[in-house]
Amino acid sequence: MRKENYKGRTEKRMVGKCAGLCVTYDGLHKKLTDMLAEDGEIKEFRCNVLMDGVGYTSDVVATAEDGHLIVYECAYRKTLIRPSVGKLLDLSRNYWMKHGVLKEDWRLVIDAEEPTIEE
What does the alpha-carbon distance between residue 21 and residue 100 come to, in Å, rounded to a whole number? 25
Report whether 56 contacts 70 (CB < 8 A). Answer: no
Q: What is the pTM of this model?
A: 0.89
Q: In this predicted structure, what is the pLDDT of residue 2?
A: 87
Chain-centroid distance, C-alpha 119: 37
Q: Is residue 117 assigned to a domain?
A: no
Q: Where is pLDDT greater, at 75 or 1?
A: 75
Q: Is residue 25 assigned to a domain?
A: yes
Report how many domains make up the chain: 1
**Residue 58 belongs to domain spanning:** 2-110
Q: Is residue 48 assigned to a domain?
A: yes
User: How do 106-110 and 69-75 pair as beta strands?
Assistant: parallel
pLDDT tens, residue by residue, 30-51: 999 999 999 999 999 999 999 9
Q: In this predicted structure, what is the pLDDT of residue 19?
A: 84
95: CATH: 3.40.1350.10
What does the alpha-carbon distance between residue 64 and residue 21 come to, in Å, rounded to a whole number? 19
